[in-house]
Amino acid sequence: MSLKSKIDLLHLPKHIAIIMDGNGRWAKSQGKDRIFGHHEGVESVRVITETAANLGVKYLTLYAFSKENWNRPKAEVEALMDLLVLSLENELETFQKNSIRLLAIGDIDSLPPKTKATLLRVLESTSNNSRMSLVLALSYSARWEITDAAKRLSADFQEGKIKVIDENIFAKYLTTNNIPDPELLIRTSGEYRLSNFLLWQLAYSEMYFTNKYWPEFRAEEFYEAIVDFQGRERRFGKTSEQIKEIN
Ligand code: FPP
């Protein structure tokens, strides 16, 4: 029996974020080079995007390239940027067919011109789609995002554009403005860390770690993560009894 039938579709996480990790190690385990792992990782991106949209998830955020990833060997960085351009071009038709809106978070201006131009084109072309938002974190790091938000917020405060600073106002300056916080974070490949990903937004998210490498993470693995999530009690600092009274 597929794990899919165990999912309560009425209580799906609205937003799932994923740290896609293990492309390189998976490739090595197959006796191939790292780039081969990234190519196979793109297939997982396609499958998980389609699976999430079909289930009814409203936001899927994928950590595709961190600011720290710029420090990888030049050839790997170039291959990843090329792969991104190719994937965006190839997937545009699927995005339109499935009404998937592409969003991007991160330091988009730091992307190579061709990557940035392709990204902006797909963002624009899919902007009216409404079934699911696929959020790509590109040249993203949470500390960069928070620092950048603080800079712009303090400038607006000094100019008198804002009068008070609170959590809601601060969140508007993050690249995730208008995107709800993820209820579930998934990280593949058996690593247990956040790697500078959505440090503000994950404050109350449930974390799910799996030993599967990203290229091995497909629909059944995704269902398993959601079933696990749905078995948890989310208390947000309250007691179990208080939560049961509310429900
Ligand atoms: C982590 O594996 C993966 C990445 C840094 C890149 C993820 C990119 C893709 C799946 C392809 C392009 C993305 C899209 C959205 C089309 P790793 O290289 O860190 O693996 P390792 O930890 O085993 O070395």
Q: Could you read off the pLDDT of 152-181 as tens digits, one per residue?
A: 999 999 999 999 999 999 999 999 999 999
Tens-digit pLDDT profile for residues 174-202: 999 999 999 999 999 999 999 999 999 99
Pick the closest to residue 109 from 120, 123, 125 (CA basis): 120
**CA–CA separation, 109 and 86 (whole Å):** 19
Which residues form ligand 1's pocket by a CB distance below 6 Å? 20-25, 38, 41-42, 45, 62, 64, 69, 83-84, 87, 136, 189, 214
Distance 64 CA to ligand 1 centre (A): 6
Output the furthest CA–CA distance in the chain (Å, rounded): 60
Percentage of residues in the chain having pLDDT higher than 70 = 99
Model confidence at 213, pLDDT cuts 50, 70, 90, reads: very high
- Beta strands per DSSP E along the chain: 15-19, 59-66, 100-105, 132-140, 184-187, 206-209
Name the amino acid, one letter, at 74. Answer: K
pLDDT recorded at residue 146: 98
Nearest CA to ligand 1 atom 15: 64
Nearest CA to ligand 1 atom 22: 22
Model confidence at 2, pLDDT cuts 50, 70, 90, reads: confident
State the DSSP H helix or E strand holding residue 45, giving kind and residue range, or none if neither: helix 34-55
Name the amino acid, one letter, at 85. Answer: V
Annotation marks residue 21 as catalytic:
yes
pLDDT recorded at residue 30: 97
Domains (range + CATH), the chain: 12-141+181-246 (3.40.1180.10)
Tens-digit pLDDT profile for residues 24-64: 999 999 999 999 999 999 999 999 999 999 999 999 999 99
Counting Cα atoms < 13 Å in the Cβ hemisphere of 191 gives 15
pLDDT recorded at residue 1: 67
CA 150 to chain centre: 22
Sign, Cα dihedral of 7, 13, 15, 16: negative
Sign, Cα dihedral of 86, 115, 172, 92: negative
pLDDT recorded at residue 237: 81
* Beta carbons within 10 angstroms of residue 64's beta carbon: 23
Tens-digit pLDDT profile for residues 149-160: 999 999 999 999
Instruction: Flag whether pLDDT at 246 surpasses 80.
Output: no
The mean pLDDT of the chain is 96
Tens-digit pLDDT profile for residues 69-125: 999 999 999 999 999 999 999 999 999 999 999 999 999 999 999 999 999 999 999
Percentage of residues in the chain having pLDDT higher than 90 = 93
**CA–CA separation, 63 and 205 (whole Å):** 16
Name the amino acid, one letter, at 179. Answer: I
